[in-house]
Structure 1
Amino acid sequence: MDIITDIASTMLAQLQKPTLSFLIGGMLLAAMGSKFEIPQPVYKFVVILLLLKVGIGAGMSVRDANLAQLVVPAVGAAVVGIAIVLIGARTIARTRGISHMDGMATAGLFGAVSASTLAAGMAVLDSENIAYEGFIGALYPFMDVAALVTAIVLAKLAEARQGAAAVQGGTMTIGGARAGGPTVEGGLVRTILKDTVQSPAISALLLGLALGLFARPETVYASFYEPLFRGLLSILMLIMGMEAWQRLSEMKGVAHAYIAYGLLAPLVHGALGFGAGLIAHEVTGFSAGGTVLLAIMAASSSDISGPPTMRGALPKANPSAYVGTSTGLGTPVAILSIPLWMALADALIGF
């Protein structure tokens, strides 16, 4: 009975947080036929500011970290982020009735990291006086960016293949070569990767990372980006909520698949993160607390960098699918799984 109460209270808390509550508010406005709207130029400006803020903060965290100790867990975090997206590409993105674009956007959010879930994990460890590395916060951009870029590239690659097949009856030729040839495939991947990096969303994120790493943006970050962040995020969620309501009919008949993925994926992903932490422990002496937090990062799903990135890079994807599944289901499961990773770390490594 206690666990049911815990789950209910955790989900209620998620509903009250800005990410999901403003999303629901936007859906309610659309359901009532409201004429409320945010001009497109304002929306684009909000997205750029949000992603610049996320990138700058991540870059400053990496810059201030101990690079010698950071390398192995950072590589592990990036590999886990990519692996999560690849798993999603083979599961949710291939489920009958779910569009590949929606599935990849969902996988991308689950591969990326929730800063609030990571903070919750740190708070739990602090309350138990469990030590962990000070550079843990610098690990999340490695997993975050790797997952988002991988999901976007795979989604666009699949879309390009489908479009070419539809136009040419299933046979795409470029320079006399068939679409399945290695030269054409390589050229297509390079084109998609170039387009992804040059897209406004990823460009802003990468620019922020570079500024955080190589410049000294602390003053403008503290005085401008940080105070505006939550308010701008709420505006973005309103927009996405209204769009989600308009496209809610697309989820009829496949909601069960998103529910199953939202409940099970965080546990599988957390196990991958925990495994990467164990490898880092064996190689570098990475702490048990750090291993727990790496598992929490992998189990979490992005509620900050992910939604605006996906909205900007994959506008055809349905926000009600990827935001609802990740924030509404994935986040509560990730938070509730924290004791599991702590128990495993204590048993296998010891606090």
Structure 2
Amino acid sequence: MDLVVTIFGTVIEQLQKPTLAFLIAGLMLAALGSKFEVPDPVYKFIVILLLLKVGIGAGLSIREADLASLMVPALGAAIVGIAIVLLGSRTLARWRGVSPVDGLATAGLFGAVSASTLAAGMAILDDSAIAYEGFIGALYPFMDIAALVTAIVMAKAGQARRTARSAYASGDGTLAAPGQTRAATLPSTEGDPMLVRGILVDTFRSPAISALLAGLALGMFTQPDTVYKSFYEPLFRGLLSILMLIMGMEAWTRLSELRKVAHAYILYGITAPIIHGLIGFAVGLVAHELTGFSAGGVILLAVMAASSSDISGPPTLRGALPEANSSAYVGTSTGLGTPVAILSIPLFIALAEMLI
């Protein structure tokens, strides 16, 4: 009973936080037929500012870290981010009725990192007197960017394959000439190096990823501290709330797409954080064996893997995959994934006490 009360309390707390609260406000405005709108150029400007801020902050964290000690955990964090998206592409994205783009966008958000969940994990470890590396905060961009780019590239590759098949099929109304099999005549884009190269180039040139990477480079190789603290940080939360309001209004128009497959997102939102956290924990154990990565570091890597992005992910996905249903990936992530991730932190602490 106490566990149920705790879960309910955590869900209510998440509903009151700006990310989900403004998303719900947008849903309500759209449901009431409000004519409220944000001009598209203003929306794009907001997204660019948000992603520049996230990139610069990540770059500053990396610049201040001990790069020699950072290398193995950082590589492990990137591998975990990619693995989470690949797992999502084989599960949620293939669920009957779930759009592959929506499934991959959701997996990308779950592969990325929630700074607030990581902060909660650090606070719990501090209270428990469990030591961890000072560079832990610098690991999140490695997992974050790896997961988001992987999800975007896979979604765009899938769309390209479906478009090619559709165009071929509609050329003469058939998929195969008499005596030929479908496999013999259907153009294959699977593994096509030119296709993958083109999608990678388009992804890294897209405004969302370009802004994120530009901010990362600025934070790592220049001295943007003054403008970061005086301009980007004070504006960030307010701009994010406007973005979530916009996404909520857009999500309302697409809620009907989710009604038949809501159970898929509910199941994923509840189980994925635990599974992803265990993947992160396993990779952390490898880093522990190779480099002496601390028990606290292993726990926090698991917490990052269990978390789902509430800051960098939504604007990145909205900019790179505008066709993805935000009510699917934001609702599943913030509404279900975040509470489960926070509640799973004691599990990872217990595992560390047993194994390390």
Alpha-carbon shift at residue 128 of structure 1 (Å): 1.0
- Once residues 95 and 41 of structure 1 are traced to their aligned partners in structure 2, the CA distance between those partners, rounded to angstroms, is 36
Structure 1, unaligned runs of 5 or more: 172-176
- Residue by residue, what CA displacement relative to the aligned partner does 1:285-322 show, whole Å, maximum 9, x if unpaired? 00000000000000000000000000000000000000
What residue in structure 2 maps to residue 225 of structure 1?
232
How far apart, in 2, do the equivalents of 1:124 and 1:252 lie? 37
Aligned to 2:275: 268
In structure 2, the partner of 1:207 is: 214
Query: How far did residue 224 of structure 1 move?
Result: 0.2
In the alignment, the residues of structure 2 paired with residue 314 and residue 92 of structure 1 have an alpha-carbon distance, to the nearest angstrom, of 17
Q: Give the Å deviation of 1:179.
A: 4.0
Matches within 5 A, 1:184-195: 185-195=192-202
Which secondary structure does the structure 2 equivalent of 1:68 belong to? Answer: helix
How far, CA to CA, are the matches of 1:122 and 1:179 in structure 2? 51
Q: Distance in 2 between matches of 1:115 and 1:196?
A: 24
Q: Distance in 2 between matches of 1:8 and 1:168?
A: 51
Matched residue type, 1:278: L
Cα distance in 1 between the residues matched to 2:189 and 2:98: 28
Partner Cα separation in structure 1 for residue 192 and residue 334 of structure 2: 35
1:20 equivalent in alignment to 2:27: no
2:99 is aligned with 1:104: no
Q: Which amino acid aligns with 1:263?
A: I
Structure 2 spans left out of the alignment, 5+ residues: 170-174, 177-184
Q: CA deviation at 1:180?
A: 2.8
Match of 1:6, as an amino acid?
T
1:180 paired to 2:188? yes
- Aligned match for 1:319, one of 298, 306, 326: 326
Q: CA deviation at 1:129?
A: 1.2
Alignment of 1:1-351 (within 5 A): 1-169=1-169, 179-180=187-188, 185-349=192-356
| Rounded Cα–Cα distance in structure 2 between residues aligned with 1:178 and 1:2 | 57
In structure 1, distance between residues paired with 2:189 and 2:83 = 25
Say whether the 8 Å CA contact 2:97–2:261 is kept in structure 1: yes
| 1:188 Cα deviation from its structure 2 partner | 0.1
User: 1:178 Cα shift?
Assistant: 7.5
- Aligned counterparts of 2:189 and 2:201: Cα–Cα separation in 1: 20
Note the alpha carbon deviations across 1:110-140, whole angstroms, 9 max, x for none.
Answer: 0000000000000000111110000000000
Is the contact made by 1:179 and 1:185 (CA closer than 8 Å) also made in structure 2? no
List per-residue Cα deviations over 1:34-55 (Å, max 9, x = no partner).
0101111110000000000000
> Are the aligned partners of 2:189 and 2:195 in contact in 1 as well (CA < 8 Å)?
no
Decide whether the 8 Å contact of 1:77 with 1:143 is kept in 2: yes
- What is the TM-score of this pair, normalised by structure 1? 0.96
* Letter aligned with residue 89 of structure 2: A
**Residue equivalent to 1:174:** none
Q: Deviations over 1:18-71 (max 9, x none)?
A: 000000000000000001011111100000000000000000100110011000
Distance 2:256 2:338 in 1: 24
The residue that corresponds to 2:181 in the other structure is none
Instruction: Quote how far apart the aligned CAs of 1:252 are.
Output: 1.4
| Count of matched residue positions in the alignment of Structure 1 and Structure 2 | 343
Kept after mapping to 1: 8 A contact 2:273/2:306:
yes
Q: Which amino acid aligns with 2:317?
A: M
User: In structure 2, what is the Cα distance between the partners aligned to 1:101 and 1:205?
Assistant: 21
Say if 2:104 and 2:154, in contact at 8 Å, map to a contact too. yes
Contact 2:168 2:186 in 1 (8 A): no
Supply the AA of the counterpart residue of 2:21. S
**In 1, Cα distance between equivalents of 2:186 and 2:263:** 38
- TM-score, with structure 2 as normaliser: 0.95
Aligned with 1:35: secondary structure? coil
C-alpha separation in 1, matches of 2:168 and 2:187:
11
Q: How far is the alpha carbon of 1:181 from its aligned partner?
A: 6.8
Opposite residue 187 of structure 1, the aligned amino acid is M
Q: Which amino acid aligns with 1:217?
A: P
**SS of match in other structure, 2:96:** coil
Q: Matched residues in 2 for 1:150 and 1:185: separation?
A: 17
Is contact 2:55-2:212 (8 Å) kept? Answer: yes
CA offsets 1:265-285 (integer angstroms, 9 cap, x no match): 001000000001100000000
CA distance, structure 2, for counterparts of residue 346 and residue 98 of structure 1 = 39
Question: Displacement of 1:208 after TM fit?
Answer: 0.4
Q: Distance in 1 between matches of 2:257 and 2:136?
A: 39
